[in-house]
Amino acid sequence: MLELLREGRRHRPGGVWLILIRAGSVAAPLYVLWIGALAQIFGSWALDLGRLLHAELLMRFATWARAFTAYFHLDISIFIAIVFPIAFLTTTANPRRSRLAWTDVALAAASLAVALYYIVLNDRFLNWSRGFSQPTVGDVFVGFTLLALVIELCRRSVGWGLTSLVLVLLVFTVFGHWMPGALRHDNFGVPYFIEMMTIMENGVFGAPLEVAATYAFLFVLFGNFFEKSGGGQLFFDLASAVTGRMRGGAAKACVTASGLYGSISGSPTADVATTGPLTIPIMKRMGIPAARAGAIEATASSGGAMLPPVMGAVAFIMSDLTGIAYASIARASVLPALLYYLSIYLLVHNEAVRHNEAPLPPDQIVPLGRALANGWRHLLPIGALIALLVAGYTPVYVAAGATAAVIVLSWFHPPTAIGPRRFVECCT
């Protein structure tokens, strides 16, 4: 019974569902690139060319492309239409299930229908005026459905811990006028609650999802392309070269490799999935218990969310809400992030001394010169990313430019070159 309360299991359906998932997975980053950077670039080019050639069609396209990013609900609604169905089709309702169920398909269809509702009525929501515009019965029903879908996705992703807290706060917002004493607040009414949560920019269509649909999405995508092109192996080779000969070298190499990869992935989950299969088995072979090896990997990977140049989604949300440049937030986080990893390193060292852990075997240590000679090209995209950030470009342009650099540089090494098939693998 308790398993039903846990998060779902990730799986990959076959047949036509896999084709649809791959198509959506490729469409999502292309769309995010379009709304984040390409729409403005191509719109400006088309406008200049249209004026030069007196081509009305080109000028209309330019006007549409440059104004496209101003359609706030439209941007996020299209993102929801792509991502939510994929999430429901690839995450089971509970860990006991390992196959696609009809409920998953129904929820995927419902999320697509909800997104289409906001897309079709985009002009109405774009001109929405709080206090004057009134939500219809359809708005309330679709808005309630959207909230339910978001909560269910949250439960499938992280379990009932965080989801239950969200539910308590939502219920308190609606029914708090029945609470006694200091807990009581005015009665907002269900229509107003749905309006604030699913129409205005304070709820689902607010900064968190906007950031997820732009900055965070593209930087995680950059990390995937970087890993598929062989960059993850470079970080492990560098870590083993620097710390492998020390006492407890396996655990220290894990901390170093996880920190290096976390600094460009922005996703602790992706960090564990990439470096974990390399570091955890080595730590276990060196006599470190499985539970401690997993804890070291998870703790070291979690710090990647606050280690520049690519940080977690919270950093982009901070930048969006406060108006502070992302580069400034990244600079401010350098010292706390380094102190975090220093504390982990010292804890790992103390455990290594207490348990008399040995260094890595010589055959598993790659000389520093050879590691750099084999993987120096993987440092170029990171340099490009840092240079673009320092130059003041927006995070979307930075992520797009760094990803393009990874793809182009991979072509100079055929075994890890990113062609059409590997491009699809990176997106999925």
Average pLDDT score over residue span 71-88? 83
> Helix, strand, or coil here: 10?
strand
Interior CA angle at 102 toward 166 and 143, to 5°? 40
Average pLDDT score over residue span 113-132? 83
Residues 6+ apart with CB under 8 A from 421: none
Handedness of CA 172, 177, 180, 184 (dihedral sign): positive
Answer yes or no: is pLDDT of 69 > 70: no
Whether the CB-CB separation of 255 and 298 falls below 8 Å is answered with: no
pLDDT for residue 284: 85
pLDDT, mean over the chain: 81
pLDDT for residue 176: 82
- What is the percent of the chain where pLDDT is above 70? 89
Name the pLDDT band for 3 (thresholds 50, 70, 90): very low
pLDDT for residue 116: 93
pLDDT for residue 346: 92
Name the pLDDT band for 145 (thresholds 50, 70, 90): very high
Answer yes or no: is pLDDT of 382 > 80: yes
Average pLDDT score over residue span 74-81? 84
Whether the CB-CB separation of 105 and 89 falls below 8 Å is answered with: yes
pLDDT for residue 2: 42
Average pLDDT score over residue span 185-189? 81
Name the pLDDT band for 186 (thresholds 50, 70, 90): confident
Answer yes or no: is pLDDT of 49 > 70: no
Residue 133 bridge partners (DSSP): 130
Residue from 301, 111, 158, 416 nearest 425 by CA: 416
Locate the domains of the chain by residue range. 13-70, 72-210, 217-427
For residue 171, give the amino acid letter. V
Supply the Cα-derived Rg of the chain in whole angstroms.
24
Average pLDDT score over residue span 168-184? 85
